[in-house]
Amino acid sequence: MTQVQTRTVAERHAAASKTHEPKQPPPSAGQQLKASLRGLLAATVDRVAGLAMEKADQAAQSLENIATEGGPKIGAIFGGIEAKLAGNNPVWGAVKGAFGALSPSARIGIVLLLVLAVVLLPVTLVLVLVGLLVLAVILLVSTRSSR
């Protein structure tokens, strides 16, 4: 009795509409087999597509891990390929990829080395010129003393 009382209006309407529908004969065994095979095929296609998408995601993730954790060599390879595909200079892309794959401390070290080289470049140039001058004086003195 409580089940009848707890029915919603929608359930009552659905039950009332079922009584007015003409009854159809039950499907034959062939039709049931066809419907079952269609359902099986749909489930199989969904499962295979899901597996394929999962494998593609795993492959993309592994390539991404190799690119980020593979070191400067792998970074250079991927940077060059990416630049080539974008239509840019692959050498410059490889340099950027290799630099991007370095650890932050290595990047800071390279930047400091470049800054130090630029700062010390005039001193180095003066030392090279003084060395060449000393060499010229030594050669001049040795050629004069041998006469």
- Domain extent listing, the chain: 104-147
**Digit-coded pLDDT (tens) for 92-126:** 999 998 888 888 898 999 999 999 989 999 998 99
Whether 94 contacts 74, CB under 8 Å = no
Could you give the angle at which helices 71-86 and 29-69 cross, rounded to 10 degrees? 110
**Digit-coded pLDDT (tens) for 35-90:** 898 999 999 999 999 999 999 999 888 878 776 677 788 888 888 999 999 999 99
For the question of whether the overall pTM of this predicted structure is more than 0.75, the answer is no
